[in-house]
Structure 1
Amino acid sequence: MELLPAIILSALVMTIIVGVRYLITSGLFAWLTQRIRPGQYDKLKPQMRREIRWSLYSAAIYGIPAGIIAWGWQNAGWTKIYTDIGLYPLWYLPLSLFLYLFLHDTWFYWTHRLFHRRGWFELAHAVHHESRPPTAWAAMSFHPIEAISGAIVIPILVIAVPIHVGVLGLVLLVMTIMGVTNHMGWEMFPRWLVNGLLGKGLITATHHEKHHSAYRGNYGLYFRFWDKVCGTDLGLGSFDDASSERSGG
């Protein structure tokens, strides 16, 4: 197969994979929400349809660079993804997992803060904040500009930082699960965990809900590190105040 058609096919296949992954994962947690908290989404059906539409647009945007990189890994050696577990010390496996999550979180934090600046917010990020309160379908509900900023991170990292293919799969799993669970509109984890030592460092729905209700602060994706370092950690929200007034863009 010629080069360009092969790359296009890879991008198309990856787009389908990303889209199906989104529908399965968000659909699963939306179903769980209906089982555990009946009526939670009853008044949000028009919003959910909008979230699904934007998310499927985002799936295509995420799928294109992912497909190009997947082709490059398998055919041209473009990446530092490796399959031989003995290529690096075993201690590098958890280190690379943390490194990828931290670097992704760093990129997300600073681009997220940028998208909250006036002009950028109205141009792109307002689409995501139309989900108020968010639902399990909102995880990828982005304007194409914002989707592009998120779609390039992992492809850049796999070109620059070695990672075992299994650890990369774990990174993508964490990204998917946390992206959905942080937007469900309710907290699935017990209070002792959210308010405990682990919750002080990790982001869950209670932390991210505060961002959606206050429209400022709590900009992180996985960790509260940059929010705490930069003084933008607003603490934990309450899903009872999800209808509070906007406090800024």
Structure 2
Amino acid sequence: MTAIVAARYFASSGLFAWISARRVPGIHDRLGPQMRREIRWSLVSAAIFGIPAGVVAWGWQERGWTRIYEDWSAYPLWYAPVSVFLYLFAHDTWFYWTHRWMHRPKVFRAMHAVHHASRPPTAWAAMSFHPYEALTGAVVIPALVFLVPIHVTMLGVVLAVMTVMGVTNHMGWEMFPRRLVHSKLGGWLITASHHQRHHEEYRCNYGLYFRFWDRLCGTDRGLSPNA
């Protein structure tokens, strides 16, 4: 599972790094040492993420411990997209509050400073975490599969969204259409423009997928003019 997580990282971050180089030529030309550092930290994170993922895979296939199901008739079809939202919202909630906690000075220096050493972040920074921070992120989805039923295909959707958002939010430029980003729907979603401001100002925009908690808690400072 560690190898699979690492391969997913190289495929997704590599693809969007390639897109960045062609869409915004020169954007990361001088960041070679930083990107190599991001890759090293990300491979450590891949090893950490792989452990609970392996437990889940074994528990599901060999022991039937999880709430992952394969038969579409096991739950109403309307539940499939609902389960995706439940997973994303639960993950977003966990991420928001642990992320705010990691911005406390002592915790930041011990854990989160590794991620913020990417200035500006690149597509390779999506998993560039200190091992302690990686642990906080590695347990969420594995914990949910023991609690919330989800079809295996919908779990794949959750993992795909998690991967794509994690990478694209760190590219330093906005790949989604302006019409979407500045729409009413876009006002509740996090994209590169929103997360870039977090990397610029630190004390705002803590969410992962949605702006719900940032808005509710008064930590949403809008979009970065630089992304």
TM-score (norm 1): 0.90
Distance, in Å, in 2 between the alignment partners of 1:101 and 1:88 is: 19
Structure 1 window deviating more from structure 2 (202-211 vs 185-194): it is 185-194
Match of 1:68 among 37, 45, 55: 55
Match of 2:214 in 1: 227
Gaps in structure 1 of 5+ consecutive residues = 1-13, 241-249
Give, in angstroms, the shift of residue 74 of structure 1: 0.3
What residue number does 1:6 align with? none
Q: Which residue of 1 aligns with 2:33?
A: 46
Partner of 2:172: 185
User: Contact conserved, 1:209 with 1:238, CA < 8 A, in 2?
Assistant: no
Deviation per CA, 1:47-80, whole angstroms, max 9, x where unpaired? 1001000001000000011001100100011100
Write out aligned runs for 1:1-150 (5 A): 14-150=1-137
Structure with max Cα Rg:
1
Q: Tell me the CA shift for residue 197 of structure 1.
A: 1.3
Question: 2:113 & 2:221 partners in 1: Cα distance?
Answer: 20
- Please give the alpha-carbon distance, in whole angstroms, between the structure 2 residues aligned to 1:147 and 1:234: 26
Separation in structure 1 between the aligned mates of residue 67 and residue 23 of structure 2, nearest angstrom: 42
CA distance in 2, matches of 1:147, 1:33: 25
Partners in 2 of 1:47 and 1:185 — Cα distance?
14
- The one-letter code matched in structure 1 to 2:99 is H
8 Å contact kept, 1:135–1:185: yes
Residue 172 of structure 1 is matched in structure 2 by 159
Opposite residue 232 of structure 1, the aligned amino acid is: T
Provide TM-score, normalisation by structure 2.
Answer: 0.99
For the residue of structure 2 that corresponds to 1:203, the secondary structure is: coil
State whether structure 2 residue 214 is matched by structure 1 residue 238. no
SS at match of 1:119: helix
Deviation at residue 239 of structure 1 after TM alignment: 1.6
**Is the 8 Å Cα contact of residues 55 and 141 (structure 1) preserved in structure 2?**
yes
Is 1:214 equivalent to 2:204 in the alignment? no
Q: Structure 2: which amino acid aligns with 1:166?
A: T
- Give the deviation of 1:152 after TM superposition: 0.2
Equivalent residues, number: 227
On the 8 A contact 1:65/1:152 being kept in 2, the answer is yes
